[in-house]
Chains A and B, each alone.
Chain A
Amino acid sequence: MEFVTFEKVSLAYEEGGPLAIRDVSLSVRKNEFIAVVGPSGCGKSTLMKLVSGLSNPTSGYVYLNGREISGPQKCIGMAFQASNLLPWRTTLQNVMLPLEIVQPYRSQMRKKRKEFEEMARALIARVGLAGWEDKYPWELSGGMQQRASICRALIHKPELLMLDEPFGALDAFTREELWCMLQDLWREQPFTVVLVTHDLREAVFLADTVYVMSKGPGEILVRREVDLPRPRTLEDTYTEGFASQVHVLRDHIGAIRKH
Protein backbone atom coordinates (compact mmCIF):
# COMPACT_ATOMS: atom_id res chain seq x y z
CA MET A 1 0.00 0.00 0.00
CA GLU A 2 1.33 3.39 -0.94
CA PHE A 3 1.63 5.81 1.93
CA VAL A 4 3.45 8.81 0.51
CA THR A 5 3.21 9.64 -3.18
CA PHE A 6 4.84 12.45 -5.16
CA GLU A 7 3.47 13.11 -8.64
CA LYS A 8 5.71 15.33 -10.77
CA VAL A 9 6.25 17.74 -7.93
CA SER A 10 8.15 21.00 -8.48
CA LEU A 11 8.68 23.76 -6.00
CA ALA A 12 10.04 27.29 -6.26
CA TYR A 13 10.27 29.17 -2.98
CA GLU A 14 9.74 32.47 -4.74
CA GLU A 15 7.25 32.96 -7.50
CA GLY A 16 9.13 32.81 -10.80
CA GLY A 17 12.35 32.08 -8.88
CA PRO A 18 14.64 29.11 -9.37
CA LEU A 19 13.18 25.68 -8.71
CA ALA A 20 14.36 23.91 -5.59
CA ILE A 21 13.13 20.57 -6.91
CA ARG A 22 11.81 19.61 -10.35
CA ASP A 23 9.42 16.87 -11.45
CA VAL A 24 9.97 14.63 -8.48
CA SER A 25 7.92 11.47 -8.54
CA LEU A 26 8.29 8.79 -5.94
CA SER A 27 6.20 6.63 -3.73
CA VAL A 28 6.79 5.20 -0.30
CA ARG A 29 4.99 2.10 0.97
CA LYS A 30 3.59 1.99 4.45
CA ASN A 31 6.34 1.13 6.93
CA GLU A 32 8.99 1.44 4.28
CA PHE A 33 12.30 3.02 5.21
CA ILE A 34 13.54 5.29 2.44
CA ALA A 35 16.66 7.40 2.29
CA VAL A 36 17.23 10.39 0.05
CA VAL A 37 20.87 11.15 -0.72
CA GLY A 38 22.51 13.77 -2.83
CA PRO A 39 25.01 16.60 -2.83
CA SER A 40 24.26 19.53 -0.56
CA GLY A 41 21.73 21.99 -1.96
CA CYS A 42 19.83 19.37 -3.91
CA GLY A 43 16.51 20.09 -2.27
CA LYS A 44 16.46 17.17 0.14
CA SER A 45 15.09 19.31 2.91
CA THR A 46 12.51 20.74 0.53
CA LEU A 47 11.25 17.22 0.06
CA MET A 48 10.71 16.96 3.80
CA LYS A 49 8.85 20.23 3.96
CA LEU A 50 6.53 19.04 1.21
CA VAL A 51 5.70 15.76 2.90
CA SER A 52 5.00 17.42 6.21
CA GLY A 53 2.85 20.03 4.52
CA LEU A 54 4.99 22.94 5.70
CA SER A 55 5.44 23.99 2.05
CA ASN A 56 3.03 23.58 -0.82
CA PRO A 57 4.22 22.39 -4.24
CA THR A 58 4.34 24.93 -7.05
CA SER A 59 3.15 22.24 -9.42
CA GLY A 60 2.34 18.57 -9.05
CA TYR A 61 0.72 16.69 -6.19
CA VAL A 62 1.80 15.21 -2.90
CA TYR A 63 -0.41 12.55 -1.36
CA LEU A 64 -0.24 11.22 2.16
CA ASN A 65 -2.24 8.11 2.90
CA GLY A 66 -4.23 8.62 -0.31
CA ARG A 67 -5.19 12.22 0.43
CA GLU A 68 -3.67 15.28 -1.10
CA ILE A 69 -1.63 17.28 1.39
CA SER A 70 -2.80 20.78 2.10
CA GLY A 71 -1.44 22.56 5.13
CA PRO A 72 0.66 21.18 7.97
CA GLN A 73 0.00 17.52 8.73
CA LYS A 74 -0.66 16.26 12.18
CA CYS A 75 0.98 13.23 13.55
CA ILE A 76 4.33 13.45 11.84
CA GLY A 77 7.50 13.03 13.84
CA MET A 78 10.49 15.15 12.89
CA ALA A 79 14.13 15.26 13.93
CA PHE A 80 16.87 17.48 12.57
CA GLN A 81 20.63 17.74 12.64
CA ALA A 82 20.34 20.06 15.64
CA SER A 83 18.44 18.34 18.41
CA ASN A 84 16.25 21.41 19.01
CA LEU A 85 15.50 20.34 22.55
CA LEU A 86 14.01 23.06 24.73
CA PRO A 87 16.69 24.08 27.23
CA TRP A 88 14.20 24.92 29.98
CA ARG A 89 12.74 21.42 29.94
CA THR A 90 14.28 18.22 31.24
CA THR A 91 14.76 15.26 28.93
CA LEU A 92 11.47 13.77 30.11
CA GLN A 93 9.57 17.02 29.67
CA ASN A 94 11.11 17.48 26.24
CA VAL A 95 10.08 14.03 25.14
CA MET A 96 6.56 14.62 26.41
CA LEU A 97 6.12 17.86 24.46
CA PRO A 98 4.24 16.29 21.51
CA LEU A 99 1.77 14.72 23.93
CA GLU A 100 0.82 18.21 25.07
CA ILE A 101 -0.05 19.15 21.48
CA VAL A 102 -1.20 16.14 19.49
CA GLN A 103 -4.69 14.75 19.94
CA PRO A 104 -5.97 12.55 21.51
CA TYR A 105 -3.13 12.76 24.06
CA ARG A 106 -3.60 16.47 24.54
CA SER A 107 -7.06 16.29 26.04
CA GLN A 108 -6.17 13.23 28.12
CA MET A 109 -3.02 14.84 29.51
CA ARG A 110 -4.59 15.86 32.78
CA LYS A 111 -6.15 12.51 33.51
CA LYS A 112 -3.45 10.21 32.22
CA ARG A 113 -0.32 12.19 33.01
CA LYS A 114 1.17 9.30 35.02
CA GLU A 115 0.51 6.81 32.26
CA PHE A 116 2.02 9.08 29.59
CA GLU A 117 5.02 9.69 31.80
CA GLU A 118 5.57 5.94 32.07
CA MET A 119 5.29 5.71 28.30
CA ALA A 120 7.92 8.42 27.87
CA ARG A 121 10.21 6.88 30.46
CA ALA A 122 9.97 3.53 28.72
CA LEU A 123 10.89 5.05 25.37
CA ILE A 124 13.74 7.02 26.93
CA ALA A 125 15.06 3.83 28.52
CA ARG A 126 14.64 2.07 25.18
CA VAL A 127 17.10 4.44 23.49
CA GLY A 128 19.57 4.03 26.33
CA LEU A 129 18.95 7.25 28.23
CA ALA A 130 17.66 5.68 31.46
CA GLY A 131 18.83 7.77 34.37
CA TRP A 132 19.00 10.95 32.30
CA GLU A 133 15.27 11.74 32.35
CA ASP A 134 15.58 14.64 34.74
CA LYS A 135 18.70 16.18 33.23
CA TYR A 136 18.57 19.31 31.12
CA PRO A 137 19.66 19.20 27.46
CA TRP A 138 22.91 21.05 28.07
CA GLU A 139 23.90 18.35 30.54
CA LEU A 140 23.66 15.74 27.76
CA SER A 141 26.27 14.95 25.13
CA GLY A 142 25.48 15.52 21.46
CA GLY A 143 24.62 11.86 20.90
CA MET A 144 22.33 11.79 23.94
CA GLN A 145 20.58 14.94 22.80
CA GLN A 146 19.95 13.31 19.46
CA ARG A 147 18.56 10.19 21.13
CA ALA A 148 16.20 12.39 23.13
CA SER A 149 15.26 14.26 19.96
CA ILE A 150 14.32 10.98 18.27
CA CYS A 151 12.28 9.99 21.32
CA ARG A 152 10.41 13.26 21.00
CA ALA A 153 9.75 12.52 17.33
CA LEU A 154 8.32 9.09 18.16
CA ILE A 155 6.48 9.49 21.48
CA HIS A 156 3.11 10.23 19.90
CA LYS A 157 3.41 7.15 17.68
CA PRO A 158 3.42 8.99 14.35
CA GLU A 159 2.86 7.01 11.20
CA LEU A 160 5.59 8.95 9.45
CA LEU A 161 9.00 9.84 10.79
CA MET A 162 11.00 12.49 8.95
CA LEU A 163 14.71 12.67 9.66
CA ASP A 164 16.80 15.50 8.20
CA GLU A 165 20.45 14.54 8.57
CA PRO A 166 19.79 13.58 12.17
CA PHE A 167 23.24 12.12 12.76
CA GLY A 168 25.20 14.66 10.70
CA ALA A 169 26.79 16.44 13.64
CA LEU A 170 27.84 13.33 15.56
CA ASP A 171 31.17 11.55 15.67
CA ALA A 172 31.47 8.32 13.67
CA PHE A 173 31.11 5.92 16.62
CA THR A 174 28.07 7.60 18.08
CA ARG A 175 26.54 7.82 14.63
CA GLU A 176 26.83 4.09 14.04
CA GLU A 177 25.42 3.37 17.48
CA LEU A 178 22.40 5.49 16.67
CA TRP A 179 21.92 3.73 13.33
CA CYS A 180 21.48 0.47 15.22
CA MET A 181 19.19 2.09 17.75
CA LEU A 182 16.98 3.53 15.02
CA GLN A 183 16.85 0.23 13.15
CA ASP A 184 15.83 -1.58 16.34
CA LEU A 185 13.08 0.92 17.12
CA TRP A 186 11.77 0.67 13.58
CA ARG A 187 11.80 -3.13 13.57
CA GLU A 188 10.02 -3.38 16.91
CA GLN A 189 7.22 -1.06 16.01
CA PRO A 190 7.24 -0.28 12.31
CA PHE A 191 6.54 3.19 10.96
CA THR A 192 7.30 4.88 7.67
CA VAL A 193 10.62 6.70 7.60
CA VAL A 194 11.97 9.32 5.22
CA LEU A 195 15.64 9.85 5.99
CA VAL A 196 17.52 12.69 4.34
CA THR A 197 21.27 12.24 4.50
CA HIS A 198 24.49 12.69 2.60
CA ASP A 199 26.13 9.71 4.23
CA LEU A 200 25.90 6.86 1.72
CA ARG A 201 26.80 4.18 4.26
CA GLU A 202 24.06 5.46 6.50
CA ALA A 203 21.56 5.29 3.65
CA VAL A 204 22.52 1.74 2.70
CA PHE A 205 22.60 0.55 6.29
CA LEU A 206 19.17 1.86 7.20
CA ALA A 207 17.01 2.11 4.11
CA ASP A 208 14.91 -0.28 2.04
CA THR A 209 15.06 2.08 -0.89
CA VAL A 210 17.58 4.81 -1.64
CA TYR A 211 16.81 7.76 -3.91
CA VAL A 212 19.68 9.76 -5.39
CA MET A 213 18.98 13.39 -6.14
CA SER A 214 20.84 15.75 -8.46
CA LYS A 215 22.11 19.22 -7.71
CA GLY A 216 19.60 22.10 -7.88
CA PRO A 217 17.02 21.98 -9.17
CA GLY A 218 16.75 18.66 -7.41
CA GLU A 219 15.59 15.77 -9.52
CA ILE A 220 15.48 12.11 -8.69
CA LEU A 221 18.14 10.39 -10.77
CA VAL A 222 18.20 6.89 -9.39
CA ARG A 223 15.96 4.72 -7.32
CA ARG A 224 17.78 1.79 -5.84
CA GLU A 225 16.48 -0.97 -3.59
CA VAL A 226 18.80 -2.23 -0.90
CA ASP A 227 18.04 -5.93 -0.58
CA LEU A 228 20.42 -6.67 2.27
CA PRO A 229 18.85 -8.90 4.91
CA ARG A 230 17.68 -7.44 8.23
CA PRO A 231 18.59 -6.89 10.92
CA ARG A 232 21.75 -5.36 9.54
CA THR A 233 24.69 -5.19 11.88
CA LEU A 234 27.73 -2.98 11.91
CA GLU A 235 29.73 -6.07 10.91
CA ASP A 236 27.69 -6.19 7.71
CA THR A 237 28.94 -2.79 6.70
CA TYR A 238 32.33 -4.36 6.04
CA THR A 239 31.01 -7.10 3.74
CA GLU A 240 31.39 -6.98 0.01
CA GLY A 241 27.65 -6.84 -0.64
CA PHE A 242 27.32 -3.72 1.48
CA ALA A 243 30.38 -2.11 -0.01
CA SER A 244 29.20 -2.68 -3.56
CA GLN A 245 25.84 -1.07 -2.76
CA VAL A 246 27.63 1.98 -1.40
CA HIS A 247 29.92 1.95 -4.38
CA VAL A 248 27.10 2.04 -6.92
CA LEU A 249 25.54 5.02 -5.15
CA ARG A 250 28.90 6.67 -4.93
CA ASP A 251 29.32 6.38 -8.70
CA HIS A 252 25.97 8.05 -9.28
CA ILE A 253 26.86 10.93 -6.98
CA GLY A 254 30.26 11.24 -8.60
CA ALA A 255 28.60 11.47 -11.99
CA ILE A 256 26.40 14.33 -10.74
CA ARG A 257 29.32 16.25 -9.37
CA LYS A 258 31.17 16.11 -12.71
CA HIS A 259 28.36 17.87 -14.55
Chain B
Amino acid sequence: MAFNRRKFMIRNASWMLIVVLLLLWEILCVGLEVPEYLFPAPTAVWSAGIDRWEPIMMHAWQTFFTTLVGFAIAVVVGVVLGIAVGTYPIVYKALYPLLVGFNSIPKVAFVPVLVVWFGIGTVPAILTAFLISFFPVLVNVATGLATLEPELEDVMRSLGASKLDILRKVGLPRALPYFFASLKVAITLAFVGSVISETVASNMGIGYLMMAASSSMDMALVFAGLIVIGVMGVVMYELFAWMEKRFTRWANRGSNSVAV
Protein backbone atom coordinates (compact mmCIF):
# COMPACT_ATOMS: atom_id res chain seq x y z
CA MET B 1 0.00 0.00 0.00
CA ALA B 2 2.79 2.39 0.97
CA PHE B 3 4.52 1.49 -2.29
CA ASN B 4 1.48 2.44 -4.36
CA ARG B 5 1.12 5.74 -2.59
CA ARG B 6 4.75 6.49 -3.35
CA LYS B 7 4.18 5.77 -7.02
CA PHE B 8 1.08 7.95 -7.03
CA MET B 9 3.01 10.79 -5.39
CA ILE B 10 5.79 10.62 -7.97
CA ARG B 11 3.40 10.53 -10.90
CA ASN B 12 1.40 13.54 -9.71
CA ALA B 13 4.20 15.44 -8.01
CA SER B 14 4.05 18.43 -10.37
CA TRP B 15 0.29 18.91 -9.94
CA MET B 16 0.52 18.61 -6.21
CA LEU B 17 3.31 21.16 -6.04
CA ILE B 18 1.23 23.60 -8.09
CA VAL B 19 -1.75 23.15 -5.77
CA VAL B 20 0.42 23.65 -2.67
CA LEU B 21 2.00 26.81 -4.12
CA LEU B 22 -1.39 28.23 -5.09
CA LEU B 23 -2.68 27.54 -1.59
CA LEU B 24 0.36 29.22 -0.01
CA TRP B 25 -0.05 32.18 -2.35
CA GLU B 26 -3.74 32.53 -1.47
CA ILE B 27 -3.09 32.19 2.27
CA LEU B 28 -0.30 34.80 2.15
CA CYS B 29 -2.36 37.31 0.21
CA VAL B 30 -5.50 36.89 2.30
CA GLY B 31 -3.71 36.53 5.66
CA LEU B 32 -1.46 39.58 5.20
CA GLU B 33 -4.23 41.53 3.47
CA VAL B 34 -2.00 42.39 0.52
CA PRO B 35 -3.82 44.92 -1.68
CA GLU B 36 -4.88 43.51 -5.03
CA TYR B 37 -3.10 46.24 -7.03
CA LEU B 38 0.21 44.99 -5.61
CA PHE B 39 -0.11 41.24 -5.52
CA PRO B 40 -3.46 39.64 -6.32
CA ALA B 41 -4.46 36.31 -4.81
CA PRO B 42 -4.97 33.34 -7.18
CA THR B 43 -8.72 33.60 -6.80
CA ALA B 44 -8.58 37.21 -7.95
CA VAL B 45 -6.38 36.24 -10.90
CA TRP B 46 -8.81 33.46 -11.75
CA SER B 47 -11.84 35.73 -11.72
CA ALA B 48 -9.98 38.34 -13.79
CA GLY B 49 -9.20 35.59 -16.27
CA ILE B 50 -12.83 34.52 -16.46
CA ASP B 51 -14.13 38.10 -16.73
CA ARG B 52 -11.74 39.07 -19.49
CA TRP B 53 -11.66 35.67 -21.19
CA GLU B 54 -12.32 36.92 -24.71
CA PRO B 55 -9.70 39.70 -24.92
CA ILE B 56 -7.17 37.42 -23.22
CA MET B 57 -7.81 34.70 -25.77
CA MET B 58 -7.54 37.12 -28.67
CA HIS B 59 -4.17 38.40 -27.44
CA ALA B 60 -3.04 34.88 -26.60
CA TRP B 61 -3.72 33.73 -30.17
CA GLN B 62 -1.76 36.66 -31.49
CA THR B 63 1.21 35.75 -29.30
CA PHE B 64 0.86 32.08 -30.15
CA PHE B 65 0.80 32.84 -33.86
CA THR B 66 3.79 35.20 -33.87
CA THR B 67 5.74 32.76 -31.71
CA LEU B 68 5.07 29.83 -34.00
CA VAL B 69 5.95 31.75 -37.15
CA GLY B 70 9.18 33.05 -35.58
CA PHE B 71 9.95 29.58 -34.30
CA ALA B 72 9.34 28.00 -37.72
CA ILE B 73 11.74 30.44 -39.38
CA ALA B 74 14.25 29.75 -36.59
CA VAL B 75 14.03 26.00 -37.21
CA VAL B 76 14.61 26.36 -40.94
CA VAL B 77 17.49 28.83 -40.57
CA GLY B 78 18.95 26.89 -37.62
CA VAL B 79 18.93 23.59 -39.52
CA VAL B 80 20.44 25.05 -42.69
CA LEU B 81 23.18 26.95 -40.86
CA GLY B 82 23.69 24.04 -38.48
CA ILE B 83 24.31 21.67 -41.39
CA ALA B 84 26.73 24.14 -42.94
CA VAL B 85 28.61 24.72 -39.68
CA GLY B 86 28.66 21.03 -38.78
CA THR B 87 29.79 19.84 -42.20
CA TYR B 88 32.31 22.40 -43.39
CA PRO B 89 35.15 23.34 -41.00
CA ILE B 90 35.69 26.56 -42.94
CA VAL B 91 32.12 27.69 -42.29
CA TYR B 92 32.52 26.75 -38.65
CA LYS B 93 35.71 28.80 -38.31
CA ALA B 94 34.24 31.75 -40.14
CA LEU B 95 30.75 31.86 -38.70
CA TYR B 96 30.99 30.59 -35.16
CA PRO B 97 32.63 33.55 -33.35
CA LEU B 98 30.21 35.87 -35.09
CA LEU B 99 27.23 33.79 -34.03
CA VAL B 100 28.38 33.51 -30.44
CA GLY B 101 28.83 37.26 -30.29
CA PHE B 102 25.43 37.82 -31.82
CA ASN B 103 23.82 35.43 -29.39
CA SER B 104 25.28 37.31 -26.41
CA ILE B 105 23.44 40.51 -27.36
CA PRO B 106 20.15 40.79 -25.45
CA LYS B 107 17.50 40.46 -28.11
CA VAL B 108 15.38 43.17 -26.54
CA ALA B 109 18.04 45.58 -27.83
CA PHE B 110 17.04 44.67 -31.37
CA VAL B 111 13.41 45.53 -30.95
CA PRO B 112 13.81 49.33 -31.44
CA VAL B 113 15.82 48.63 -34.61
CA LEU B 114 13.16 46.27 -35.90
CA VAL B 115 10.48 48.83 -35.12
CA VAL B 116 12.28 51.44 -37.19
CA TRP B 117 12.50 48.99 -40.08
CA PHE B 118 9.14 47.26 -39.90
CA GLY B 119 6.91 49.42 -37.72
CA ILE B 120 5.27 48.19 -34.53
CA GLY B 121 3.18 45.05 -34.34
CA THR B 122 3.47 41.52 -35.63
CA VAL B 123 6.62 41.63 -37.74
CA PRO B 124 9.07 42.71 -35.01
CA ALA B 125 7.53 40.15 -32.67
CA ILE B 126 8.04 37.37 -35.20
CA LEU B 127 11.59 38.48 -35.90
CA THR B 128 12.47 38.75 -32.22
CA ALA B 129 11.10 35.26 -31.62
CA PHE B 130 13.21 34.05 -34.54
CA LEU B 131 16.40 35.85 -33.45
CA ILE B 132 16.23 34.53 -29.93
CA SER B 133 15.45 30.91 -30.80
CA PHE B 134 17.51 29.93 -33.85
CA PHE B 135 20.83 29.66 -32.01
CA PRO B 136 20.12 26.55 -29.95
CA VAL B 137 18.82 24.77 -33.06
CA LEU B 138 21.94 25.69 -35.00
CA VAL B 139 24.33 24.64 -32.23
CA ASN B 140 22.63 21.32 -31.65
CA VAL B 141 22.38 20.35 -35.31
CA ALA B 142 26.02 21.31 -35.81
CA THR B 143 27.09 19.34 -32.74
CA GLY B 144 25.14 16.30 -33.87
CA LEU B 145 26.90 16.38 -37.23
CA ALA B 146 30.37 17.25 -35.97
CA THR B 147 30.51 14.47 -33.38
CA LEU B 148 30.12 11.75 -35.99
CA GLU B 149 32.44 8.85 -35.13
CA PRO B 150 35.50 8.96 -37.42
CA GLU B 151 35.37 5.19 -37.84
CA LEU B 152 31.81 5.36 -39.09
CA GLU B 153 32.90 7.99 -41.57
CA ASP B 154 35.74 5.68 -42.65
CA VAL B 155 33.27 2.86 -43.20
CA MET B 156 31.13 5.11 -45.36
CA ARG B 157 34.04 6.58 -47.28
CA SER B 158 35.54 3.18 -47.94
CA LEU B 159 32.26 2.30 -49.64
CA GLY B 160 32.74 5.27 -51.91
CA ALA B 161 30.05 7.38 -50.25
CA SER B 162 29.97 11.05 -51.16
CA LYS B 163 29.73 13.80 -48.55
CA LEU B 164 26.04 14.08 -49.32
CA ASP B 165 25.57 10.31 -48.87
CA ILE B 166 27.25 10.44 -45.47
CA LEU B 167 25.08 13.39 -44.48
CA ARG B 168 21.87 11.70 -45.59
CA LYS B 169 22.51 8.18 -44.35
CA VAL B 170 24.41 8.87 -41.15
CA GLY B 171 24.84 12.55 -40.25
CA LEU B 172 21.25 13.73 -40.27
CA PRO B 173 19.63 10.69 -38.63
CA ARG B 174 22.33 10.83 -35.99
CA ALA B 175 21.72 14.54 -35.38
CA LEU B 176 17.97 14.03 -34.99
CA PRO B 177 17.96 13.58 -31.18
CA TYR B 178 20.08 16.72 -30.83
CA PHE B 179 17.65 18.53 -33.11
CA PHE B 180 14.57 17.53 -31.14
CA ALA B 181 16.25 18.42 -27.86
CA SER B 182 16.94 21.88 -29.28
CA LEU B 183 13.30 22.33 -30.33
CA LYS B 184 12.22 22.09 -26.71
CA VAL B 185 14.62 24.88 -25.75
CA ALA B 186 13.87 26.96 -28.84
CA ILE B 187 10.09 27.00 -28.47
CA THR B 188 10.24 28.37 -24.93
CA LEU B 189 12.78 30.98 -26.04
CA ALA B 190 10.54 31.94 -28.95
CA PHE B 191 7.76 32.78 -26.48
CA VAL B 192 10.21 34.95 -24.57
CA GLY B 193 11.13 36.75 -27.79
CA SER B 194 7.62 37.48 -29.01
CA VAL B 195 6.39 38.63 -25.58
CA ILE B 196 9.40 40.91 -25.13
CA SER B 197 8.71 42.52 -28.47
CA GLU B 198 5.03 42.87 -27.71
CA THR B 199 5.67 44.60 -24.41
CA VAL B 200 7.98 47.10 -26.07
CA ALA B 201 6.35 47.70 -29.41
CA SER B 202 2.93 46.34 -30.22
CA ASN B 203 -0.74 46.88 -29.69
CA MET B 204 -1.50 43.18 -29.86
CA GLY B 205 -0.50 40.08 -27.96
CA ILE B 206 -0.18 39.00 -24.36
CA GLY B 207 2.88 41.21 -23.86
CA TYR B 208 0.91 44.28 -24.86
CA LEU B 209 -2.04 43.17 -22.73
CA MET B 210 0.17 42.95 -19.66
CA MET B 211 1.77 46.33 -20.30
CA ALA B 212 -1.62 47.93 -20.72
CA ALA B 213 -2.98 46.21 -17.62
CA SER B 214 -0.04 47.15 -15.44
CA SER B 215 -0.24 50.80 -16.44
CA SER B 216 -3.84 50.80 -15.18
CA MET B 217 -2.79 48.94 -12.02
CA ASP B 218 -4.84 45.90 -13.04
CA MET B 219 -2.43 43.40 -11.52
CA ALA B 220 -4.89 40.52 -11.61
CA LEU B 221 -4.97 40.76 -15.40
CA VAL B 222 -1.16 40.97 -15.57
CA PHE B 223 -0.90 37.76 -13.62
CA ALA B 224 -3.57 36.13 -15.76
CA GLY B 225 -1.45 37.03 -18.79
CA LEU B 226 1.67 35.56 -17.21
CA ILE B 227 -0.13 32.33 -16.50
CA VAL B 228 -1.46 32.11 -20.06
CA ILE B 229 2.09 32.46 -21.44
CA GLY B 230 3.29 29.82 -19.01
CA VAL B 231 0.57 27.40 -20.04
CA MET B 232 1.28 27.90 -23.77
CA GLY B 233 4.96 27.34 -23.12
CA VAL B 234 4.40 24.12 -21.22
CA VAL B 235 1.96 22.77 -23.81
CA MET B 236 4.36 23.40 -26.70
CA TYR B 237 7.29 22.03 -24.74
CA GLU B 238 5.40 18.83 -24.00
CA LEU B 239 4.39 18.55 -27.66
CA PHE B 240 8.02 18.61 -28.76
CA ALA B 241 9.06 16.33 -25.93
CA TRP B 242 6.47 13.86 -27.19
CA MET B 243 7.72 14.19 -30.76
CA GLU B 244 11.28 13.64 -29.57
CA LYS B 245 10.27 10.41 -27.86
CA ARG B 246 8.21 9.32 -30.83
CA PHE B 247 10.80 9.91 -33.55
CA THR B 248 14.08 9.16 -31.81
CA ARG B 249 13.13 6.21 -29.67
CA TRP B 250 16.47 4.61 -30.47
CA ALA B 251 18.33 7.37 -28.67
CA ASN B 252 16.26 7.07 -25.48
CA ARG B 253 16.63 3.40 -24.80
CA GLY B 254 17.78 3.99 -21.25
CA SER B 255 21.02 2.05 -21.55
CA ASN B 256 24.39 3.05 -22.86
CA SER B 257 25.60 -0.48 -23.32
CA VAL B 258 25.77 -0.18 -27.09
CA ALA B 259 29.05 0.85 -28.66
CA VAL B 260 27.67 3.33 -31.13
Contacts and interface: CB of A to CB of B under 8 A. Distances in A.
B250 interface: yes
A5 B238 CA distance: 59
A142 B151 CA distance: 17
Nearest to B153: A54
B154 interface: yes
B161 to A, nearest CB: 5
Given A84-B152, A88-B250, A101-B165, A78 B158 contact: yes
Interface stretch (A67-75, A185-193, A238-246): A67-75
A169 B151 CA distance: 15
Nearest to A149: B155
A102 B159 contact: yes
Interface in A74-109: 74-78, 80, 82-88, 97-98, 100-103
A87 B258 contact: yes
B66 to A, nearest CB: 35
A138 interface: yes
A76 B158 contact: yes
A54 B157 contact: yes
A32 to B, nearest CB: 19
B160 A102 contact: yes
A101 B259 contact: no
B258 A101 contact: no
Contacts of A138: 250, 253, 255, 257-258
B170 A86 contact: yes
A162 interface: yes
Q: What is the interface of chain B mostly: helix, strand, loop, or mixed?
A: helix
B250 A136 contact: yes
B157 A72 contact: yes
B234 interface: no
A10 interface: no
A13 to B, nearest CB: 13
Contacts of B156: 101
A54 B154 contact: yes
A44 B160 CA distance: 22
B260 A87 contact: yes
B123 to A, nearest CB: 39
Interface residues of B, number: 26
Interface of B: 149, 151-152, 154-161, 165, 169-170, 173-174, 176, 248, 250-251, 253, 255, 257-260
A190 B52 CA distance: 80
B169 A97 contact: yes
Contacts of B169: 97, 100-101
B199 to A, nearest CB: 43
A75 B158 CA distance: 7
A169 B157 contact: no
A31 interface: no
Q: Which 3 pairs between the two chains have the least Cβ-Cβ distance?
A: A74-B160, A138-B258, A82-B259
Given A53-B158, A73-B160, A78-B154, 13 more contacts: A52-B158, A54-B154, A75-B160, A76-B158, A83-B259, A84-B259, A87-B260, A88-B251, A97-B169, A101-B160, A101-B161, A102-B159, A169-B259
Contacts of B160: 72-75, 101-103
A88 B157 contact: no
Contacts of B260: 82, 84-85, 87
B191 to A, nearest CB: 31
Contacts of B257: 138
Contacts of B161: 101
A38 interface: no
Nearest to A84: B152
Given A74-B159, A75-B160, A145-B258, A82 B173 contact: no
A68 to B, nearest CB: 17
From A54, A83, A84, residue with most partner B Cβ within 10 Å:
A84
B173 to A, nearest CB: 5
Interface in A93-135: 97-98, 100-103
